[in-house]
Amino acid sequence: MILERTLSIIKPNAINKHVIGNIIKRFEDNSLFVVGLKMIKLNYHQVSFIYSEHKNKLFFNELLEFMTSSAIVLLVLEGHNAINRNRLIIGHTNPAYANIGTIRKDYADSITKNAIHGSASQEAANREIYYFFKKNEIYSTL
């Protein structure tokens, strides 16, 4: 088992449903612990950074509009195999295919408004975490 950090973003539709606490509880119940947390409103540049691989996709403008529509919560999560386990707790990108008990199954409204982001790889996790957090803003046990 490897102790890792990953980044999750509670997206605008989940913020509007008032389920920040519920989502954090799911992570904590699965031993993914919050070591960094911010509530901010993303701008165009920040969304483009997170989703740079999707900039040329047809859905990018819709994604951009959604992600900048209200505040979001950034979570740095730490735990054993945090990157893969975070993705399992989150569920499939498309809520129609998400397993029962996953965050997206319960809180997604559509493939775009799918409630939460989770870093896809070790490389993505490092890139995303240190874009939003200074080292001294992470309260780690590592």
Q: Is 80 a catalytic residue?
A: no
Q: What does 114 interact with, of ligand ADP, Mg ion, none (CB < 5 to 8 A by kind)?
A: ligand ADP
Contact between 27 and 82 (Cβ < 8 Å): no
Site string for ligand ADP, 17-56 (x = CB under 6 A): ----------------------------------x--x--
Choose one: 39-47, 68-76, 109-117, 126-134; the region binding ligand ADP (CB under 6 A). Answer: 109-117
Rounded least distance, CB 139 to Mg ion, Å? 26
Looking only at the bridges linking them, the beta strands covering 33-40 and 72-80 are antiparallel
Beta-bridge mates of residue 34: 77
Residues in binding contact with ligand ADP, number by CB under 6 A = 10
140 within 8 A of 35, measured Cβ to Cβ: yes
Residue 18 Cβ vs Mg ion, minimum distance, rounded to whole Å? 25
Shortest separation between residue 45's beta carbon and Mg ion, angstroms:
18
Residues annotated as part of the active site: 117
Q: What is the binding site for ligand ADP (CB under 6 A)?
A: 51, 54, 59, 63, 93, 111-112, 114, 117, 120
